[in-house]
Every structure is written in structure tokens, then in C-alpha cells.
Amino acid sequence: MYQDYTRLRDEFGIQEFDESLWRDLPSPHRLLRRGVVFGHRDFEIIRDAVLSGKSWAILTGLMPSGRMHLGHKMVIDEVIYYQSIGADVFIAVADIEAFATRGYSLEETREFALNEYIPNYIALGLKPERCHIYFQSENQDVKDLAYILGKKVNWSQMVATYGFDGSTNMTHIFSPLIQTGDILHVQLEKYGGIRPTLVPVGVDQDPHIRLSRDIAQAHRLYSTILTRDNKIGVFVKTDRDVKKLLDDAEKELSLAGFEKLRRITDYKAIYIDDAEKMDIPRINELLAKTEKKFGGYGFLQPSATFHRFITGLDGEKMSSSNPGGAIFLTDSPEEARKKIMNAKTGGGVSLEEQKKKGGKPEKCMVYELFLYHLIEDDKELEKIYRLCRSGDRVCGECKKHAAMLMEQLLLDLAEKRGAMRDETKLYLQ
Ligand code: TRP
Ligand code: SF4
């Protein structure tokens, strides 16, 4: 909550997630409406796929270590929303990554995934029958891709991106490539083919997003760009089959309705004088599909959204290693109530002062619970905000309200988990 996300965005070239991106989606999710999702890369492509009814995929990975808390719930809430509006959902259980980077055995991570994460995902509303859940260690296609795609990444790039050094072990070094395999495999023919893919993550995952986008692009045979003199150009990136690739591109472009094509063989280029900047994604996708004939993958660069982290109730990071500040989805209502009653709020030093000067909801962990998880209705949330600011709402009562809503949420989840725990294994591929 205290992090400066604007700075982060500017530093890494993440775009602002403004209203034009979510306004036209069907019943936009609260995390999108309320600015919790604050940044993106290429989300326009996903929005346009949704609005035009095209096929698109969403992929997320779960790190099966420790217990699942409210921070983990956010990503899956987003995934469930996107599933409800037509996304083809993939969930990677990152057992190789947990083994490589956190020191868990593959068996331990399997237990965490089967007993903790997946039952909670389904209890939260994920429809398992319309979703692909897999373990990294068991998906040969993902592992093969990781190996093959690694051909276009060198050591300097890995050092610059992840800070690896001479003492980093090989399994750890390889695990970002497995994540790239996760992200890109959904565009293999067998899994649904070339199409827009969304990866919703926290900003800490941006290095992985950049790596997968770079790798996807590096393996393309064409690149479609806006040139310096504001023209749209298609360039062949390889030295093999140049003529055939240019022929093919020309054919596809004229079939798509472009008429003013200028081919400059020496530059391995076709300029499209009747195309505009906004046509680039369409051209890019069109040409991706023809690359297969020449042995390419044609992967489109994955899109991503970035969400804020939820703060722990004690004002520190919400993390499994800080159980006092985290609410776990398997906490009892009493445990959760205790944490909420002890939470750091934006209230005044004394009740009297708070009534006079009002509270600060933007600095309050309890308000954050309402905003991220507990209150769906924007008007109701706004009312809490207003009453807090004016001093007409005080922390004691407010915490009780949050504890009550949290109790309902936890009991509901416990009931749903109980009802289907034994079925979980059935849904794994
Ligand atoms: N690295 C992610 C984490 O630390 C887990 C993960 C694995 C992932 N594969 C992924 C996330 C693919 C997004 C997409 O939590
Ligand atoms: Fe937070 Fe509620 Fe107190 Fe306002 S009244 S500071 S929202 S706990």
C-alpha cells in the first residue's frame, strides 16, 4: 500500500491500467475497477479479443509453498473473473520452481498444491472442468520448450535480469526458462494455437514477463514495426527462405485487404503504405500464423497485468512467513477476527481525535480488506470511505464489520472445500 507504484511503472516501462482498458469488459471485476490492477503490458490486445469474441488464453502459476493467504487469493480472483468472460484457463503448479528456488522437494510441493491451493481455487469459484491444471515437472511440452527457447537467451541477459552469479546453481538458473515454457506453451497447436495470452501477476514477476516477451519476439521470423518515418514495415528476421517469407507475407497482407505494398528485397522488407499504427497487432498475428510453415512457432508476445500487493494486517508484507499479519484461507473465523481486531488502522490516536479529524482509509489495513476482498458494491465501499474520512465511523465498529464479513467468507470457503476435497485429483491432467 505504501509502495510507489507510479515510479515502478515508469522505471520498467509498464503502462498505466486506465479505465479505457476495462470499461467495456462484461461486469468488470472489482480489482480492475478499483485500481488494484495498476499496470499492464499489451492489455489492449486482450480487451479487443474479449470484445470481438476471439479465442484467448490466461495462464497463471502457483508457487506451492506454505499456506494460501489473501495475497494469493487476488490472482485467482482475477483468473476466475476472466474464466467467466471466456478465457481458456491454464494453471501451472510451479513445482520445479519451488524445488529450484525454495528448497522444497517435488513431493512436498505436490502435497501443498493438492491439499491447499487447488481446493481453495475451486472453492473460490474456479471451474476445474473448464481449465487446465498441470505440474511443471509432468508437462513434457513445457520442459521441452524451456530447453529449446533457451537457445535465444544468453548468460549476460540472465545475469542482468536476475542477478545470477557464479555461485547460482544450474537448476535455479534454468527455472525462469521453465516459467517462459509455462507462459508460451498455451500457444502450441496442441493447447489451442497462436492467440493472445494474459498473465496476471504482481510486479515482482515482471522480469519473467519481460523474459518471455523477449523470447517470444526473438523466435519470430517476421517483425512488424512502426518505422522512424512513421510507416508500417514488415521485416524478415532470418536469412533462410527470405524470398518465400516475403512472398507469403505479401500474399497474406493482400488477402487481409492491404493494397499499397512496397517490397524492398535488399532490406528484406515490405512497407505497407495503407496501414496505420493501430493495425500492427492484427498484422503481427496474421503473420505469426504463416510462420509455422517455415518451422517457426509464431508466438505472440504475452500480455500482462500487474496488481498491487495487499499489505499485512500489521502493516508489514503479507506473507506466509509472517503469520500474524496474514489471513490464511484456512484460518478459523476466530483467528481471523483476532488479527483484524489487532490490525493497524488509519484511525486517530484517540477516539476523540478521530471523531474530530476523521480517519485515513488509504493508510488503513482494514479498509484495504474491504477494498480488495470484502465489499463488492462500489457505493457501499465509497460510503465507508466517506464516513471514515469525516470521523463518523470509528475503528472498533469498523473492525467488527470486517471481522463479520471475513467470517462469512472463510466459512463459505471451508464448506466448499469440504465438499470437494476428494475430487481435486480428478481434475489434474
Ligand atoms: N514464479 C511465480 C511465483 O513466484 C510462479 C509461476 C510459475 C508463474 N510459472 C508461472 C507465474 C507462469 C505466472 C506465470 O509465484
Ligand atoms: Fe480504517 Fe475503519 Fe478506522 Fe477508517 S474507521 S481508519 S476504515 S478501521
Q: Which domain CATH number covers 376?
A: 1.10.240.10
Give residue 247 CA to ligand 2 midpoint distance, Å. Answer: 65
**Do 45 and 111 have their domain in common?**
yes
User: Nearest ligand, CA of residue 76?
Assistant: 1
Residues lining ligand 2, judged by CB closer than 6 Å? Answer: 345-347, 359, 361, 364, 366-367, 388, 393-395, 398-399
**Do 66 and 177 have their domain in common?**
yes
User: Nearest ligand, CA of residue 212?
Assistant: 1
- Res 2: pLDDT: 46
Percentage of residues of the chain with pLDDT beyond 90: 90
Ligand 1 atom nearest residue 208's Cα: 1
Ligand 2 atom nearest residue 360's Cα: 6
Rounded CA separation 328/372 (Å): 15
Cβ(218)–Cβ(210) under 8 Å?
Answer: no
Number of domains in the chain: 3
Give me the sign of the Cα torsion angle 363, 364, 367, 371: positive
How far, CA to CA in Å, does 283 sit from each of 198, 258, 270? 19, 10, 12
**Do 381 and 238 have their domain in common?**
no
Residue from 269, 295, 275 nearest 231 by CA: 275
3-state secondary structure labels for all residues of 137-181: HHCHHHHHHHHHHHHHCCHHHHHHHHCCCCCCCHHHHHHHHHHHH
**Do 358 and 403 have their domain in common?**
yes
Percentage of residues of the chain with pLDDT beyond 70: 97
Confidence of residue 11 (pLDDT cuts 50, 70, 90): confident
Give residue 19 CA to ligand 1 midpoint distance, Å. Answer: 27
Q: Lowest-confidence range among 227-231, 250-254, 285-289, 306-310?
A: 227-231
Whole domain around residue 266: which residue ranges?
222-294
Q: Is residue 52 part of a domain?
A: yes
Residue-wise pLDDT tens digits, 106-147: 999 999 999 999 999 999 999 999 899 999 999 999 999 999
Cβ partners under 8 Å of residue 19, min gap 6: none
Element (H, E) at 131: strand 131-135
The strands making up 303-307's β-sheet, listed across from edge to edge, are 15-16, 37-41, 303-307, 197-202, 57-62, 88-93, 131-135
Residue 360, pLDDT > 50, answer yes
**Do 232 and 213 have their domain in common?**
no
What number is the average pLDDT over the span 189-203? 97
Query: Residue type for 426, please?
Result: L
User: Nearest ligand, CA of residue 346?
Assistant: 2
**Do 351 and 228 have their domain in common?**
no
Q: Is residue 28 part of a domain?
A: yes
206 in ligand 1 pocket by Cβ < 6 Å? no
Cβ(298)–Cβ(291) under 8 Å?
Answer: yes
User: How many residues can be counted in the chain?
Assistant: 429
Q: Is residue 327 part of a domain?
A: no
**Do 255 and 210 have their domain in common?**
no
What number is the average pLDDT over the span 266-287? 96
Cell of 218: 526473438
Residue-wise pLDDT tens digits, 372-398: 999 999 999 999 999 999 999 999 999
**Do 138 and 40 have their domain in common?**
yes
Residue 361, pLDDT > 70, answer yes
**Do 9 and 100 have their domain in common?**
yes
The CA dihedral of 141, 111, 425, 333, to the nearest 10 degrees, is -130
Residue ending a domain, among 234, 265, 294, is: 294
Q: Is residue 312 part of a domain?
A: no
Rounded CA separation 363/344 (Å): 9
Residue 73, pLDDT > 50, answer yes
What number is the average pLDDT over the span 17-26? 98
199 in ligand 1 pocket by Cβ < 6 Å? yes
Cell of 350: 484517540
Average pLDDT, the chain: 95
Residue 425, pLDDT > 80, answer no
**Do 42 and 118 have their domain in common?**
yes
**Do 99 and 52 have their domain in common?**
yes
Q: Is residue 415 part of a domain?
A: yes
User: Nearest ligand, CA of residue 381?
Assistant: 2
Residue from 334, 352, 346, 335 nearest 370 by CA: 346
Cβ(179)–Cβ(212) under 8 Å?
Answer: yes
Q: Is residue 165 part of a domain?
A: yes
**Do 68 and 127 have their domain in common?**
yes
Rounded CA separation 400/341 (Å): 7
User: If you take atom 4 of ligand 2, which residue's CA is the nearest one?
Assistant: 388
Q: Is residue 91 part of a domain?
A: yes
- Res 1: pLDDT: 47
Cell of 46: 486482450
Give residue 361 CA to ligand 2 midpoint distance, Å. Answer: 6
* Neighbouring C-beta atoms of residue 36, cutoff 10 Å: 20
Cβ(337)–Cβ(406) under 8 Å?
Answer: yes
Q: Domain of 150: which CATH number?
A: 3.40.50.620
Element (H, E) at 369: helix 365-369
Q: Is residue 321 part of a domain?
A: no
